[in-house]
Structure 1
Amino acid sequence: MNELLKLTDIVTNGANLNQSLPLENGRNSKEKKFIENLKSKNYNSDEAAALDIYGTTPNDVRYKMLKHRMKKKLYNKLILIDFNKLGFNNHYQKEHECITLLHQAHILKREYELDLVINLSNKVIAIAEEFDFTNHLVSALELKSFCYTENGNVKMFDKTIKELEAKTEKLNKEMEAVRMYQTVKLYLKKSITTRKNLIPKVPSIVAKLELIWQQTRSFNAFEAYYKTSISYYELEGDFDKIVEMTVASFKWVEEGLVNKLLFNTNYNKFILVYAHLRSKKYEDGLKYAELYCNDFRYSSVNWFSFMENYFLLALHCRQYELAWILLRRVFENPSYKIIAKSAKERWSLYQAYYGFIAPITTAEISLQKNPYGLSLPEYSKDKLGFNVAILILQFIYFLQKEDSEALLYRIESLKKYILTHLKDTFSLRSKTFLKLLILTVTEDFEADACKKKGQKLYQRLIETPPPGDAYAEIEIVPYEHLWEHILSILESKS
């Protein structure tokens, strides 16, 4: 059933299903009833569908035959999908066009219609050269070489073979670059230990990928070099290098060194803004975020991801009025309901931090039932990510309530958390800040004593740079800003 639901969804969004899908005729067509209910998502299981259509179970041979026919028709329909309707970039449609033309050419080759094969191959070559589809270009040249062999055209055969050899060499280098990138990407999905072991090997991989790109000027080779470089700099925590790479990429596109028809400008814009946030270039990051914000479709998941970086830039830059505007835009977006649960949890956490740090009244915030995340959400099971952010927020919540008993209890929790989860050097900032929180309790919430005795820890915090993304705890608000704010709370209460 899941397979049919997925196919129906893709075909429905990519084409006019009723007009182009051949269904049984008749008022009581079982196929029509089946497909309409699949489109409307009225069937969530084979049991429900079989009972509705035949009044029987999924084991009924009639239902099995119906499923088999509909799968075959839906798969056949995929070849006619319009990628533009699915929201893909134009180059996907062009690649699909190349595949279709090559399929037609192979059929004509079997019929020995050599002139028609050459004609279709030339169409493929024109598209492939424009969009840098080296694999399709090689396939088209192979078809042409076959045709010239069969019709005895020596001059055109020699010309085609020379081009084919050059493009095949380029394709082999492209494939080598792609495999290298895929290997790095695969290992980055493994444990933190695996990532750490990978780091010493990546510079030589990046250097080789850059060389392949310079040799081929292939987009696939560039993309492998581009994405591997960004992943490596992120692992190293060298976000200035990512800024340089993204800015340089725009320049290479303008100069024609990178195919502008294939380059994902929105991805580059997203990474550019993110890198400014992580490299603490907040002012410049905000300028880029404001410039690029409208380039992301308002109803898309990518818009919400972009807004996370935009919002955090505003918070880190202490532009709280802007942060409030962005927060409202997110929660008032009708598409908020489509984003993943983990993304919604992050936005709730951002909202709670904003309510703590920003100089506004509680009435101005649409508080959630549990605004301060007093129980850890599911996505924090890996002990990294937002776990520290939630622990800090819980502590601040009880500090504002002046609940000494709850704070004393949390001191032990924080100490255990530090010993268990913050043993590595990349956790130094979080470890230091949690020690400052513990200090507020041991010094009986006396602002002057906390400021004086916490000065060394605070200075260590300032001198410790954020780690690379592979290991980083999330600082929704910079720890330095939080400590200043906590001291102001203690001063006001004393």
Structure 2
Amino acid sequence: MEIIRDLVDLVSRNKLKSVELLGQAEKGRISMVNSLYFKIASGEFLSDEEAAQYYFGASPADNGYRKLKNRLKNRLINAVFFIDTKQAGYTDWDRAYITCCKEWAAVKILLNRGASKIAIDLALKIFKHAQHFQFSELLVNISKMLRLYYSTRQPDARKLKYYDELHATYVKLWQSENLAEDLYIKLVYSHLFDKNQATPGPSMAKAYYEQLQPLMAEQRSYHFLRHVYLLKIAALMSEGNFIETAIACEEAITALGEMEFLAPQALLTFLYQKLVCHIQLKDYPAGRCVVERALELEREGSYNWYKNRELCLLLALHTRNYQEAFSIWQQASQHPSFKQLGQRPDEQWKIYEAWLHFLIFIGKLSPPQEGSSSKFRINKFLNEVPTFSKDKRGMNIPILIIQILFIIAQKRYDLVISRMEAIDRYCSRYLKHDENYRSNVFIRLLLQIPKAHFHPKTVLERADRYLNLLHQNPLQISPQGHEIEIIPFEDLWEMTLEGLGKRKY
């Protein structure tokens, strides 16, 4: 059902005339194929079990249901070729790529059926578009076909030499692009998936970048430069060198901006990386400039738009612009498309909501409307984040920290004491001297509060050691992600001490 739902969503989003494409029913009645399409599109059917029971009173293994589902799947795949790329949301690059792929498929079919003249005429048209947009794989395949055509079916020495030389050039380009992509994939895999291996660190990214750097003088294509600069930025960011990383991001943006076509997706990638640098460096003015540049390339309500809002919110939190952060969260969470976000992004925004309401609770920001803070329930929030709760070294950390801070701010000291033993074990088991080292230190810092019996002077005495460790490992050079340290720990510690200072003894 998941594959069918994805196809239905694609067809629906592109506003195709689904009834016509799926086939008209006889005598004005809706066919079972169309009926299944509309019920999946409307959300009435979410599983194979529901659909099979409705139509056949049987299980998904029923032969009749499997045939019905396969007919719908095949018609939806055919419908993909009728996507209208003129509608909003498609860049020039998207339109050119989809058109070239469809027409190249037509060329292959025409050649197979012996219509070589019209096939070559269409291939030459595709070739010009592919050259402009640097579709290297298509360039390799089309130049290969043209070379063969002008050597056998219509011999032409001049054209053969021309396309033979182009073929050699594009093969070399394609190989360079594949190498760059391959090295980038290896780096990402080592970082995200190969948990048994040590964190790759800057050495792997730097080695990969240095391997590709000599090719940059000759190869300046979009795909090649994009992956080369991603590797360079990964190396610099792993070293905590955010100033140089921001410079490298601007280099990438400049290089891609020199292309004959605009590649918004790639530009946004490097703008976001640059914005991360400004978050780490707590440079709000420069960060806001990046945000405005990125917004010009984004469609409101799109995935990139939410990514922009998320990074802008973090920039505001890291630079103590708390009212701005709340406004950004409100703008994103109240957008009509917010409910369409997946589970993980939705949980991420719930975490930001918790932190903002913590700031409201301690009086660091005022919500625009009275009483809005009362709608938030910390216990409900904790029960609604099952995905991150399993990630002991990742996004479970800000959840754990916000839980501690809330109960300290609420002065529920008995509850703080009862939970500290479990939190202490958590630190010993999961938080080590790694990319989450600052989190480890900060939680240790919070543990000193009940050990000092919540007395501000004693807390300060016990906290001195851990504060020094935070200062020795500042966020600017820490590998810890900004998505984990949502508000800098130094700021959080000040807020916590302010609350303790108000306690009556």
| TM-aligned CA distance change 1:69 to 1:302, over 3 Å | same
Matched position secondary structure for 2:28:
coil
2:450 matched residue in structure 1: 441
Instruction: Write the distance in 2 (CA, Å) between the matches of 1:262 and 1:306.
Output: 13
**C-alpha contact (below 8 Å) 2:437/2:480 kept by paired residues:** no
| TM-aligned CA distance change 1:211 to 1:419, over 3 Å | same
- Find the partner of 1:245 among 238, 245, 248: 248
- What's the CA shift string for 1:125-178, capped at 9, x where partnerless? 110111001111122222222221222222221222122222222222222222
- What's the CA shift string for 1:382-412, capped at 9, x where partnerless? 2122333233322222223333322222332
Instruction: Write the distance in 2 (CA, Å) between the matches of 1:376 and 1:336.
Output: 17
2:491 matched residue in structure 1: 481
Q: Say if 2:18 is the partner of 1:17.
A: yes
Q: Say if 2:367 is the partner of 1:367.
A: no
**C-alpha contact (below 8 Å) 2:226/2:252 kept by paired residues:** no
Q: 1:47-196 maps to which residues of 2 (within 5 A)?
A: 48-53=50-55, 63-83=65-85, 85=87, 87-149=89-151, 150-192=153-195, 194-196=197-199
- The Cα shift of 1:96 comes to 2.2
Q: Say if 2:7 is the partner of 1:7.
A: yes
- What's the CA shift string for 1:164-210, capped at 9, x where partnerless? 22222222222222222222222222245525246433312111223
**One-letter identity of the residue aligned with 1:370:** I
| TM-aligned CA distance change 1:129 to 1:392, over 3 Å | same
Q: Say if 2:321 is the partner of 1:314.
A: no
- Find the partner of 1:384 among 386, 393, 405: 393
- The Cα shift of 1:97 comes to 1.8
| TM-aligned CA distance change 1:409 to 1:10, over 3 Å | same
Instruction: Write the distance in 1 (CA, Å) between the matches of 2:65 and 2:421.
Output: 61
1:404 matched residue in structure 2: 413
**C-alpha contact (below 8 Å) 1:286/1:310 kept by paired residues:** yes
**C-alpha contact (below 8 Å) 2:133/2:261 kept by paired residues:** yes
1:219 matched residue in structure 2: 222
- Find the partner of 1:430 among 436, 439, 454: 439
2:468 matched residue in structure 1: 459
**One-letter identity of the residue aligned with 2:409:** Q
1:327 matched residue in structure 2: 329
**One-letter identity of the residue aligned with 1:367:** K
| TM-aligned CA distance change 1:63 to 1:353, over 3 Å | closer
- The Cα shift of 1:360 comes to 4.0
Higher mean displacement: 482-491 or 324-333? 324-333
Instruction: Write the distance in 2 (CA, Å) between the matches of 1:69 and 1:412.
Output: 59
| TM-aligned CA distance change 1:216 to 1:285, over 3 Å | same
Instruction: Write the distance in 2 (CA, Å) between the matches of 1:350 and 1:58.
Output: 41
Structure 2: which 5+ runs fail to align?
Answer: none
**C-alpha contact (below 8 Å) 1:128/1:137 kept by paired residues:** yes
Identical residues among aligned pairs (%): 23
Q: 1:229-308 maps to which residues of 2 (within 5 A)?
A: 229-256=232-259, 260-261=262-263, 264-293=266-295, 295-308=297-310
| TM-score, with length taken from structure 2 | 0.86
Instruction: Write the distance in 1 (CA, Å) between the matches of 2:129 and 2:407.
Output: 64
- The Cα shift of 1:470 comes to 6.7
**C-alpha contact (below 8 Å) 2:233/2:245 kept by paired residues:** yes
Q: What's the Cα RMSD here?
A: 3.0
- The Cα shift of 1:263 comes to 5.5
| TM-aligned CA distance change 1:27 to 1:438, over 3 Å | same
Instruction: Write the distance in 2 (CA, Å) between the matches of 1:372 and 1:52.
Output: 36
**C-alpha contact (below 8 Å) 1:385/1:472 kept by paired residues:** no
- The Cα shift of 1:337 comes to 1.7
Instruction: Write the distance in 1 (CA, Å) between the matches of 2:175 and 2:224.
Output: 11
Instruction: Write the distance in 2 (CA, Å) between the matches of 1:179 and 1:103.
Output: 26
**C-alpha contact (below 8 Å) 1:348/1:371 kept by paired residues:** no
Instruction: Write the distance in 1 (CA, Å) between the matches of 2:122 and 2:171.
Output: 20
Higher mean displacement: 57-66 or 170-179? 57-66
| TM-aligned CA distance change 1:343 to 1:201, over 3 Å | closer
**C-alpha contact (below 8 Å) 1:392/1:434 kept by paired residues:** yes
Matched position secondary structure for 2:484:
coil
Instruction: Write the distance in 1 (CA, Å) between the matches of 2:291 and 2:490.
Output: 24
- What's the CA shift string for 1:409-463, capped at 9, x where partnerless? 2332332222222222544322332232222223222223333443343233222
**C-alpha contact (below 8 Å) 1:315/1:323 kept by paired residues:** yes
- Find the partner of 1:348 among 347, 350, 359: 350
**C-alpha contact (below 8 Å) 2:294/2:308 kept by paired residues:** no
| TM-aligned CA distance change 1:47 to 1:382, over 3 Å | closer
Instruction: Write the distance in 2 (CA, Å) between the matches of 1:226 and 1:19.
Output: 46
Instruction: Write the distance in 1 (CA, Å) between the matches of 2:405 and 2:44.
Output: 47
**C-alpha contact (below 8 Å) 1:385/1:473 kept by paired residues:** no
**One-letter identity of the residue aligned with 2:334:** E
| TM-score, with length taken from structure 1 | 0.88
